[in-house]
Amino acid sequence: MVPDLPAELAGRRIRVAVLCGGESPEHDVSLVSARNVLGAMDPERYDPSVIQIGRDGVWRRAGQSAALSVTPGLPPEAGGAEFDVVFPVLHGPNGEDGTVQGLLELLHVPYVGPGVLGAALTMDKEAAKRVLQAAGLPVVPWVTVRAGKARPGWEATTGRLGRPVFVKPARMGSSVGVSVAATAEELDRALEEAFAFDAKVLVEQRIDGREIECAVLGNEYPEASVPGEIASTHDFYSYEAKYVDEHGARLHAPADLAPDQAERIREMSVLAFQALCCAGMARVDFFLTAAGKDGEAAAGARDGVYINEVNGIPGFTEISMYPRLWATTGLEYPQLIDRLISLAFARHAARKERGR
Ligand SMILES: Nc1ncnc2c1ncn2[C@@H]1O[C@H](COP(=O)(O)OP(=O)(O)O)[C@@H](O)[C@H]1O
Ligand SMILES: [Mg+2]
């Protein structure tokens, strides 16, 4: 039984539309995530269907070529089928950034994951940092570079941030457009690369530390999983290390951490989730340096801990940490799906009750 279900759904399977694909460079990653989410859905409980957004932006029922039409104020209809809830398994712009969430709000359909603001904030790494900072949470020192303006000089930038630096598009994921720069020429090249994906780019201090991730689940009062660790075998956790090289990274769940350190990371994860107006799910990614141990105060860090980023729609691929961390915490994949779907209904019902 899925808790918090609307009464009209009693006694029948819940029709879930899994939204996947999309126009972003993370199209393929989304398809892999969606396949896993579908595989974890209990067929006795759910009647799933797949809506695949093409690279051309057209919405299609999987396996069919006809475009779907959506009518504001009504549940989305596709060839006569209606859905009770939508599960956006989309990564990157036009999916994870509040655009799809806004459409679903207008259609008055319950949906899994963050709403408009949570999705938009977690998608924009600069906006997210500013909000996290204002909430007193530690973020990696950075400078923002905008397209069309004079590029920052190497000396001035590295004078503030040290060297090398990390360069990344503000609104992208899966390490697309992310590179490390150790010289002025590399910085130029890295900016060029990042500007191919966004008009706003972040140049960050390189943090030499462990990558720790924590999964969060809930709405107003979410819970955090045990933290896990990603040990990349590449220069950093690049697209290749994530998805191309099957030996690109080793995942450890739980991470080998002192109990108080793990606890602090869980607390920070919940605070970050709330500060960024997340809902349903999020994965909070950290860097953990040795600075905490010898008492060295690193700029921006607290006890050697920085929040790198928060993912409002975390990956659900085979190698993805989000479902794995919950399994390690004691919540198996099918039960995780149940929770996510009931959180979507709960959020929808609460908003409806207030007349939104
Ligand atoms: N400031 C940094 N210092 C060290 N490594 C970094 C830094 N920023 C990013 N990285 C590396 O690049 C990877 C991808 O960067 P991230 O900011 O997480 O972007 P994405 O949203 O694409 O995952 C990280 O997992 C990490 O391995
Ligand atoms: Mg990341």
Q: Is 173 in contact with 26 (CB distance < 8 Å)? A: yes
**pLDDT tens digits, 67-102:** 666 554 454 554 454 899 999 999 988 888 999 999
More confident residue, 356 or 126: 126
Strand partners, 141: none
In angstroms, the CA 59 to CA 53 distance is 4
Domain 142-205 has CATH 1.20.1250.20: no
Give the type of residue at 46.
Y
Give me the phi and psi of 286, to 5 degrees please: -120, 160
Counting ligand 1 atoms within 8 A of each CB, the residue from 172, 175, 317 with the most, and so the one to mutate, is 175
- Which residue's CA lies nearest to atom 26 of ligand 1? 237
Give the type of residue at 285.
D
Ligand 1 contact via 228 beta carbon (within 6 Å): no
* CATH among 1.20.950.20, 3.40.50.20, 3.30.70.270, 3.40.50.920 for 7-113: 3.40.50.20
| Per-residue confidence (pLDDT) for residue 79, from 0 to 100 | 43
Ligand nearest to the CA of residue 173, numbered in listed order: 1
Residues ≥6 apart with Cβ < 8 Å to 205: 140, 141, 142, 161, 162, 165, 166, 299, 300
Ligand 1 contact via 168 beta carbon (within 6 Å): yes
Strand partners, 100: none
Contacts 24+ apart (CB under 8 A), 183-190: 183/154, 184/154, 187/154, 187/157, 188/151
**pLDDT tens digits, 193-239:** 999 999 999 999 999 999 999 999 999 999 999 999 999 999 999 99
Ligand 1 contact via 275 beta carbon (within 6 Å): no
Give the type of residue at 277.
C
**pLDDT tens digits, 136-185:** 999 999 999 999 878 888 999 999 999 999 999 999 988 999 999 999 99
Which CATH architecture describes the domain 122-138+207-312?
Answer: 2-Layer Sandwich (3.30)
More confident residue, 313 or 318: 313
Report the mean per-residue pLDDT for the chain: 91
Q: Where do the structural domains in the chain lie, given as residue ranges? A: 7-113, 122-138+207-312, 142-205
For the chain, the straight-line distance linking the first and the last C-alpha, in angstroms and rounded, comes to: 27
Does residue 353 surpass a pLDDT of 90?
no
Segment (H or E) for 216:
strand 210-218
- Which residue's CA lies nearest to atom 19 of ligand 1? 175
